[in-house]
Amino acid sequence: MKVAEETSMTKEFELFDKMSEHEQVVFCNDPSTGLRAIIAIHNTTLGPALGGCRMQPYNSMDEALEDVLRLSKGMTYKCAAADVDFGGGKAVIIGDPKTDKSPELFRAFGQFVNSLGGRFYTGTDMGTSMDDFIHAMKETNFINGLPEAYGGGGDSSIPTAAGVLYGIKATNYMLFGNDELGGHKYAIQGLGKVGFKVASGLLEAGATIYVTDINQENLQAIEGLATTTLGKVIVIAKEDIYSQDADIFVPCAFGGIINDNTIAQFKVKAIVGAANNQLLHDRHGKMLQEKGILYAPDYIVNSGGLIQVADELYGINHERVLAKTKHIYDAILEVYKEAISSGRTTEESANQMCEKRIADRSKRNSFYTAPAKPKWSIRNLT
């Protein structure tokens, strides 16, 4: 009995150890709709936590928890880098997006989001769509990234893809001394909402792209599009995408793709893509540096979508979103230059800039200002 008690105590502390950098983790359970979700709030120094909600058939509790903890931490850095007044959070729903969705499930999720009273704003991510959040918004105001007809900014993958293209331009400038997109070769993993738009932009600029996706329709669509552009597309088996003789690898599918196995295969000069949490571990940033591969920190490159959903705070303005998204070009160049002069990896340089921004803001938040209209009120909650 004593042994069992000790074991369970150890396990409980393991959970706290895992979330030691996080402010709050909420487990949401609603048997009547089948909802099992986890909301993780990493850091709210810059403002309420903001981050999309991913739906995936995770294999275990640990896998789902690890994903939401990593993704929410990434959002803290992404918000700091993009200079938006939000902190880092994320949610995961455990389930198959093809078979387990229902309006009731998303309404139940909306109720849990509402119970946090504005500490967490959420919207779409992998496996969820704007349609799902039209159900969730019936239960809570703390939803962003809605369709324009519902007062949101619409498809956030448009500015995300624009930001990735700015990141690629900045990288080309570092590699070749001019930032033209055409005339180079790119290996693109994933032609979904973001990857397809990035691929289209590169084809239109006349580039050669090696592409892979597990969805045949996406591959056929990009081949069809290529015939109307100056560019060229070559379809590659999914396991061969890492070893292509391209200039830049553009990951637009899932995280953890920069690891021991893939680094051994890379022949590219740089990696610039939309996927969140691309480095499996921090040490993989160092390995890329040692191999002479320039790495554009993912949370800067893919912050266009965040810039758009955060802009809803002021009433969405697409020109303002585009202007801010353009800044990704300068932000990436700044990181490259800082990393070269300090000897740090690009990820370390970017992290340090973000941590300084958060530390500076926490000092400014330390004095009292008179109560006024809540600063964070996307849909006039007062």
Asked if residue 358 lies in contact with residue 88, where contact means CB atoms within 8 angstroms, the answer is: no
Contact string (CB under 6 A) for ligand NAI, positions 21-50, x = contact? ------------------------------
Beta strands in 190-226 (DSSP E): 208-212
Candidates 41, 143, 252, 300; binder of ligand NAI (CB under 6 A) is 252
Report the nearest approach of ligand AKG to the CB of residue 50 (Å): 6
Candidates 192, 280, 338, 376; binder of ligand NAI (CB under 6 A) is 192
76 lines the binding site for ligand NAI (CB under 6 A): no
Site residues (CB under 6 A) for ligand AKG, limited to 88-127: 122-125
DSSP string computed for 246-305: -SEEEE-S-S--BSHHHHHH---SEE----SS-BSSTHHHHHHHHHT-EE--HHHHTTHH
Nearer to ligand NAI, 33 or 243 (CB): 243
Nearer to ligand NAI, 101 or 193 (CB): 193
253 lines the binding site for ligand NAI (CB under 6 A): yes
- Identify the residue whose tokens are 């958060």: 358
Contact string (CB under 6 A) for ligand NAI, positions 201-240, x = contact? -----------xxxx--x-------------------x--
Q: Which tokens in the block code for residue 209?
A: 């792209």
Cα end-to-end distance, the chain, whole Å? 53
Q: Is 239 exposed, middle or buried (0-12, 13-18, 19+ CB in 10 A)?
A: exposed
- Sign of the four-CA dihedral 287, 169, 130, 323: positive
With b meaning 16 or more CB within 10 Å and e meaning fewer, what string describes 82-112? bebebbbbbbbbbbebeebbeeebbbbbbbb
Nearer to ligand AKG, 95 or 123 (CB): 123
Q: Which residues are identified as catalytic?
A: 90
Nearer to ligand NAI, 41 or 158 (CB): 158
The SS3 call for residue 121 is strand
Report the nearest approach of ligand NAI to the CB of residue 196 (Å): 7
Report the nearest approach of ligand NAI to the CB of residue 372 (Å): 32
162 lines the binding site for ligand AKG (CB under 6 A): no
Q: Which residues bind ligand AKG (CB under 6 A)?
A: 50-52, 78, 122-125, 144-145, 156, 276, 305-306, 309
